């Protein structure tokens, strides 16, 4: 409801979320009335959004924040509300007139892959035609993938970020499956990511809910930073623990995630216990993540040669290493040929800046 989004905007402004860089509040499916109005325009559910979306957008903007909204490329949204098919220009103009700053465009109920692709292209053009700056979040490759390999070069021409894989759930198995999928497909998806277009391993950071342990929460935050993922929280900011807040607002991790070079990280190494990931950063730095995949037992030691990193260049001739997560500490200066030993909790991750 309108009230929920107002309360979230208040929290984001008052409790440091906006200052940490979280600037969008996004409405997902089910915000609409079941039918369009007499002019054919989408309208908000009158009971739950009595002031309409324009009023809500004005309120969100007054807090120094931006508003995101949801629609669908097909005839209906995933939940059965009116979709944008045959209304792309009208819907783009409507969203712009309301002061919307982001559109999440889903891919349900499209009759064919050709219509799906045409719809994503047409909505992109329609949004640009409004003259308003609106971030365009697509689900295009996710709906293509079962049938054909997405053309990411084309998708990036039209979209600002794009979903590749299933919805995230508030569970460790969901986070794990997203990481496994990303590693498996990194040869095709990593190279396309960069300023203006990003792989979206589903919007939601589920940190601050119920399904993840502390170590698993650390893993999600660290790995979303490595993957250059858009950071969207799916949680209730009225009931969030101080620990979860500390993690989600961690400036060092957010700086890695938002690094201006804009390169996505990738998995370097995997055995039955550990994964080693790296992400090139600006100023010849690297973010490095070591994930302990084991789900039983206590902390395990992982030792690796620093020559592994950055094609052998990250520590040549020497490098300083800073641990970012699970806690910030200085690890010291290392020479090119040395090894690093880390202790990592089960399902936990140690995130480093090299």
Encode burial over 118-141: b for 16+ CB neighbours within 10 A, e otherwise: ebbbbbbebbeebebebbbbbbbb
- What residues have CB less than 8 Å from 154, skipping those under 6 apart? none
Q: How far apart are CA 215 and CA 326, in angstroms?
A: 8
Phi, psi values for residue 233, rounded to 5°: -90, 145
Q: Which two tokens stand for residue 120?
A: 């994503």
Residue tagged 């009225």 (tokens): 238
Q: Which two tokens stand for residue 293?
A: 């995949």
DSSP label of 277 = E
Instruction: Kindly list the strands in the beta sheet with 66-72, ordered across the sheet, starting from the edge strand earlier in the chain.
Output: 24-26, 66-72, 102-106, 135-138, 161-163, 198-200
Cis before 117 (ω within 30): no
Neighbours of 195 (CB within 10 A): 10
Bridge partner residues of 329 (DSSP): 323
Phi, psi values for residue 247, rounded to 5°: -70, -45
State the helix-helix crossing angle for 52-62 and 88-98, rounded to 10 degrees: 50
Radius of gyration (Cα) for the chain, nearest Å? 21
Q: How far apart are CA 137 and CA 106, in angstroms?
A: 8
Q: Which two tokens stand for residue 348?
A: 């936990």
- Among all residues, which ones are annotated catalytic? 106, 167
DSSP label of 130 = T
Residue tagged 């997405």 (tokens): 150
State the helix-helix crossing angle for 214-226 and 172-184, rounded to 10 degrees: 30
């Amino acid at each position: 409801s309108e009230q929920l989004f107002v309360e979230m905007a208040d929290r984001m402004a008052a409790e440091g979320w906006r200052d940490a860089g979280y600037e969008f509040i996004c409405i997902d499916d089910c915000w609409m009335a079941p039918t369009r109005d007499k002019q054919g325009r989408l309208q908000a559910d009158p009971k739950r959004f009595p002031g309409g979306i324009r009023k809500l957008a004005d309120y969100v903007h007054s807090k120094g924040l931006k508003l995101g909204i949801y629609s669908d490329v097909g005839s209906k949204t995933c939940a059965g509300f009116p979709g944008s098919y045959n209304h792309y220009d009208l819907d783009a103009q409507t969203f712009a007139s309301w002061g919307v700053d982001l559109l999440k465009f889903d891919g349900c109920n499209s009759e064919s892959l050709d219509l799906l692709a045409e719809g994503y292209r047409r909505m992109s053009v329609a949004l640009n035609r409004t003259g308003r700056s609106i971030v365009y979040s697509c689900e295009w490759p996710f709906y293509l993938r079962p049938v054909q390999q997405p053309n990411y070069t084309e998708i990036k021409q039209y979209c600002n970020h794009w979903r590749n894989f299933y919805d995230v759930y508030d569970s460790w198995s969901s986070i794990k499956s997203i990481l496994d999928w990303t590693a498996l497909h990194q040869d095709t998806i990593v190279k396309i990511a960069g300023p203006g277009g990003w792989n979206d391993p589903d919007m939601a950071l589920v940190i601050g809910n119920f399904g993840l342990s502390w170590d698993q929460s650390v893993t999600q935050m660290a790995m979303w930073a490595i993957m250059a993922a858009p950071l969207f929280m799916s949680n209730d900011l009225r009931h969030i623990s101080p620990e979860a807040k500390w993690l989600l607002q961690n400036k060092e991790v957010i700086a890695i995630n938002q690094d201006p070079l804009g390169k996505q990280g990738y998995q370097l190494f995997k055995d039955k216990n550990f994964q080693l990931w790296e992400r090139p950063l600006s100023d010849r730095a690297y973010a490095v993540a070591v994930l302990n995949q084991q789900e039983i037992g206590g902390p395990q030691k992982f030792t690796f040669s620093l020559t592994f990193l950055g094609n052998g260049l990250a520590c040549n001739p020497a490098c300083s290493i800073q641990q970012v997560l699970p806690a910030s500490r200085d690890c010291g200066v290392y020479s090119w040929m040395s090894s690093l030993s880390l202790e990592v909790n089960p399902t936990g991750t140690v995130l480093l800046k090299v």
